[in-house]
Amino acid sequence: MEYLLKAAILQTDLIWKNSNQNRINFSTKIDELSNDVDLIVLQEMFTTGFTSQAQNAFESMDGETIQWMLKKSHEKEALLIGSLIIQEDEKFFNRLIVAFPDGELKYYDKRHLFSYAGEDKVFTAGNSTLVFDYKGFKICPLVCYDLRFPVWSRNTEGIDILIYVANWPKPRINAWDILLKARAIENLCYVIGVNRLGKDYNNLEYIGHSVVIDAMGKPVLNFEEDQEMTKTITLSKDHIKNTRSKFGFLEDRDEFEIVV
């Protein structure tokens, strides 16, 4: 049996710290998707834009955005992924939420906090990755700055799809392009990178460059620079199996243990 997964990637502008309007904008785009989509990927901090000012931008795990994600996931019968600012136990997390159509929630707290912008001074880092099975694919979602740290995403669990949600700015976009390809090549898996557009409160510019890359490091879905758009692509488990069967590079990987 061949497993296929149809993914929708939403490359959009974000309205600064306006959760309600961002949810409205995303609702319109999600409602326009065909009903055969299996996976919908939004950006990092998709309700606010990237900010280290968490005190006036956080939500809770039973807040409006979580309920909205569960509702849209159920309506489209698709997995819905994106990160937002969550407060829990008096701590702030850049938390990636995975909403399942049946009402299940999983989450991953961003491990590598962006010290260059002071994220580490406000947020608490996660200490474990999230890997889960969905429709025959093993998926690992990560957040933005995690992309620069290959050990954290090293494929020791048979991962088929790595997902990076981001607010990655224009001045360093070349690193984004190159590192996404590197993660696909070294892990022999699909990589989905979803980045935002527009300018934030600090006048920092974002130009997108969202992409889907196959297990050989070849881009199979590209987004035009500075263009707001939604695109879909069908991913094949056979592509992963055949690539790994032909090129057994993962069998030669080093053993290691991550200490957190």
Residue 144 a catalytic site member: yes
Catalytic position from the list 119, 140, 144, 189: 144
Q: Which amino acid is it at 28?
A: T
Strands 190-195, 161-166: pairing is parallel
Catalytic position from the list 17, 72, 76, 110: 110
Asked whether 65 and 47 are in contact (CB, 8 A), the reply is: yes
Residue 6 a catalytic site member: no
Catalytic position from the list 17, 44, 76, 119: 44
Asked whether 126 and 108 are in contact (CB, 8 A), the reply is: yes
Residue 119 a catalytic site member: no
258-to-153, 154, 184 alpha-carbon distances in Å: 11, 11, 20
At 235, list the tokens. 């991913």
The whole-angstrom distance between residue 21's C-alpha and the CA centroid of its chain comes to 21
Report the catalytic residues: 44, 110, 144
